[in-house]
Structure formats: C-alpha cells, structure tokens
C-alpha cells in the first residue's frame, strides 16, 4: 500500500518505493533530492475520469487549520487521502508550454504524525512536456521531512522525492491528468505547518545527446570491470584496492554548453553494498559554473524493475556526497546540484542489484539477479 511504503521512507529514512526496497538510504545535501521519469502516453487516458475530482477549486482553506497556506489553489479538506479510499482534490490547475506554472498550498495536519494530501492537475497540449515539481515546507523545528510523489490517474506511483525542508522532481509527461501526493511528517506535535507545491515547465531538461562521439567514453574499468570502482556505498567508503581510481575525463564544464559521457555498467555481484558496478569519473567546473544538471539514461528491460541505476556527485576534498539521484525503476535519473566554480568533483554511476545475492547453502535464495548482462548508459552534463 502507498501509505505503508512512504511511512517506511519517513520513519526509517530509507530510499524505498511502493514496489521495491532495493534503493539505499538517502544522503542529505544542500540541494533537494530529485528524480525523473518519462511517462508513456499509454499510461494516461485521453479522457480522465471525472470521478477523480470531488472538491471544487478554491482559495480559502477549511476551518481547523492554524497555518496559512497560499497558492493558485489552496487545500480545502483533509479528506483527500486516496490510501483511505478518499478522492484527491481537483485543483483545476493546468500546465502546458504556453501556461508555464502554478502553485498549490496546503497544511501538514497537527493531529497526525504523517499527513498525506493528494491533488489532481492536468497536462494540456498534444506533445510531452518537461516539468519541474518542487515542494517547500514552512521552516519549523518540528518538521521531520517532506515527500512529493507523482501518480497517474490509475493512482499508480510513478516517481517520488523527499528532503528535510523541500523536495524536487523532474518529469516528462504526456498530456493527461495526474495526481500529486505530498506527505509531511512531524517530529514533535507543535502545530500545523504550511507547504507550497510549485509546478512549472522545465526549460533546461538537459536531454541525452545520441552521439557516436561523446565527449568522454569509459575506458579504464579493466578486464574485471572494477578499475574505476572507487567507492562502496551505504555508508560511503573508499575501496581498499590501490588500483581503483576515478577516470579523468579531462572535461571542464563551462556554462552555456552541454557535455556527454558514455559507459557500460557490468553485472558483478558483491556482498558489500549489493550494487553490480560503480563507475567513477572526475571532472572540473568552469569559472562561472555554480550549478550543474545531470541526466543518466539506460535501456530498460521489459519490466520496470529489471534494471535500475543511480548516481552521486562527490567532493573529493573530504569524500562527502553533495548530491544524488536515487530513484527506483526509472528510465532516467535527473538532478540539479549546487557546485563551486573551478573545482574538482567525482561522478559515480551505480547499477543496483535488484535481487539479493544468493546465500551459501540456501537453495531458496540461489536465484540469478534480474540484471545479469552488461548495461550501456549515457550521461548528459549541463552547467547552469
């Protein structure tokens, strides 16, 4: 159930999804965590079911709140939790290339440790649109965190993100109706907290460049596919082998230009962090580069859970993670990170093992991993 899955993320601080618990624990950073998904038009009906909508759009919240939300639409009722059999609130908000943004305001209810709110919105037009979804919650010591999820009209979760004060998603959506879920959880009962959802067109989607001559191609992983596996994760730890080194791309990311990288992620079972491969590359930011957007793409299998990759950006001066994209079962991982100009960073592309490795002597667990072949991937870097 959606509610149970998101409680796991909130209480245990695990990166989980409604269908998998294979992704690792999130790492806090200055930037909100982010994810991305491209939605097939077949998953969205051309004529959304009107029964999804039960509340007319409004601007004045229901009595009983002691917070003051604001937005183009404001939450009207607490009876909008679809996991309880209730209907999401119809915001009557639309987004298209010509209508670029809207906001939704709501409250985390003081009477619940966890509060799930659901809202519908519509993507107009006749072509897919790149969108940027952000959630910012009122600053208050009581807040434990906030999540935002995107669902299709059948209430199937597509993607989610979370953070301490804010969360962010990037998505490419076909025209149709979608549902936004916001989940705020409170460490201490100290009054309701307001939040604001922003939905806007993503004008810099950092698309993958299909090229036979990328700016850099992986070449130093070695015959055993471990030559550039510099780190293990959860927790972040350097490998002990002196032969493990990041590949120097010799790339300097200057503003107003995009860059591409191609690699191959092997399928090597390990018991350290249950990943299959961890390719590491170094690059440098240019003198005017203060942020970068990264898009990671790989071919998916016939089922969404057959293959999954994540990426991390690491500051090598103290080996800390400054940003990550760790969504489950998606064709693309996308995130924006704040960086320092003229600085060295490491990018690590991790392929996840989606089934646990076999336990010695346990025939019930001796099943091969779902992902047992090498997996090519493409990366775009877009300095901002």
Same domain, 146 and 65: yes
- Last residue within a domain, chosen from 201, 229, 251: 201
Same domain, 229 and 310: yes
Q: Does residue 210 form part of some domain?
A: no
Instruction: Output the pTM of the full model.
Output: 0.71
pLDDT tens per residue across span 207-237: 988 777 899 998 877 777 776 888 888 778 8
* Per-residue confidence band for 306, with pLDDT thresholds at 50, 70 and 90: low
Same domain, 269 and 194: no
Contact status, residue 27 vs residue 15, Cβ threshold 8 Å: no
Task: In whole angstroms, give the CA distance from residue 265 to residue 276.
Answer: 8
Which pLDDT belongs to residue 365?
40
Which pLDDT belongs to residue 115?
81
Quick one: average pLDDT of 65-94? Answer: 90
Q: Does residue 310 form part of some domain?
A: yes
Same domain, 250 and 169: no
Here the CATH number for the domain that contains residue 106 is: 2.60.120.380
Report the domain count for the chain: 2
Same domain, 197 and 253: no
Task: In whole angstroms, give the CA distance from residue 333 to residue 170.
Answer: 9
Which pLDDT belongs to residue 303?
52
Q: Does residue 359 form part of some domain?
A: yes
pLDDT tens per residue across span 364-380: 444 444 456 788 999 99
First CA to last CA distance, the chain: 38
What range does the domain containing 64 cover? 2-201
pLDDT tens per residue across span 2-56: 333 333 343 333 334 333 333 444 434 344 444 554 544 444 444 433 333 333 3
Q: Does residue 211 form part of some domain?
A: no
Going by C-alpha positions, the residue among 185, 189, 131, 130 that lies closest to residue 162 is: 185
Q: Does residue 209 form part of some domain?
A: no
pLDDT tens per residue across span 106-147: 988 766 667 889 999 999 999 999 999 999 887 665 566 788
Same domain, 105 and 75: yes
Same domain, 237 and 149: no
* Per-residue confidence band for 66, with pLDDT thresholds at 50, 70 and 90: low
Residue 335 has pLDDT above 60, yes or no: yes
């Amino acid at each position: 159930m959606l509610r149970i899955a998101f409680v796991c993320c909130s209480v245990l601080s695990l990166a989980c999804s409604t269908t998998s618990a294979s992704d690792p624990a999130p790492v806090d950073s200055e930037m909100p965590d982010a994810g991305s998904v491209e939605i097939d038009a077949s998953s969205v009906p051309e004529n959304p079911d009107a029964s999804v909508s039960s509340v007319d759009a409004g601007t004045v919240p229901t009595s009983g709140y002691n917070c003051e939300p604001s937005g183009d639409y404001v939450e009207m009722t607490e009876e909008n939790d679809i996991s309880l059999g209730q209907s999401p609130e119809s915001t009557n908000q639309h987004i298209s290339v010509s209508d670029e943004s809207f906001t939704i305001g709501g409250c985390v209810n003081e009477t619940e440790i966890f509060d799930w709110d659901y809202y519908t919105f519509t993507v107009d037009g006749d072509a897919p649109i790149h969108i940027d979804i952000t959630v910012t919650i009122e600053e208050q010591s009581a807040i434990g965190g906030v999540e935002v999820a995107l669902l299709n009209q059948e209430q199937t979760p597509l993607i989610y993100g979370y953070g301490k004060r804010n969360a962010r998603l990037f998505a490419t959506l076909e025209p149709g109706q979608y549902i936004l879920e916001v989940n705020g959880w409170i460490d201490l009962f100290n009054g309701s907290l307001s939040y604001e959802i922003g939905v806007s067109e993503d004008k810099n989607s950092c698309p993958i460049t299909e090229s036979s001559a990328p700016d850099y191609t992986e070449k130093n992983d070695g015959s055993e596919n471990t030559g550039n596996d510099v780190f293990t994760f959860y927790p972040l730890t350097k490998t002990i082998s002196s032969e493990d080194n990041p590949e120097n791309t010799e790339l300097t990311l200057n503003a107003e230009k995009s860059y591409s990288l191609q690699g191959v992620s092997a399928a090597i079972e390990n018991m350290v962090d249950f990943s299959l491969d961890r390719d590491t590359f170094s690059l440098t930011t240019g003198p005017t580069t203060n942020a970068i957007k990264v898009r990671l793409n790989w071919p998916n299998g016939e089922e969404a859970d057959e293959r999954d990759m994540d990426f991390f950006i690491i500051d090598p001066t103290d080996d800390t993670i400054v940003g990550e994209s760790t969504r489950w079962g998606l064709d693309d991982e996308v995130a924006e990170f704040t960086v320092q100009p003229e600085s060295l960073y490491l990018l690590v592309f991790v392929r996840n093992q989606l089934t646990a490795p076999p336990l010695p002597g346990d025939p019930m667990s001796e099943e091969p991993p779902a992902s047992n072949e090498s997996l090519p991937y493409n990366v775009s870097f877009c300095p901002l």
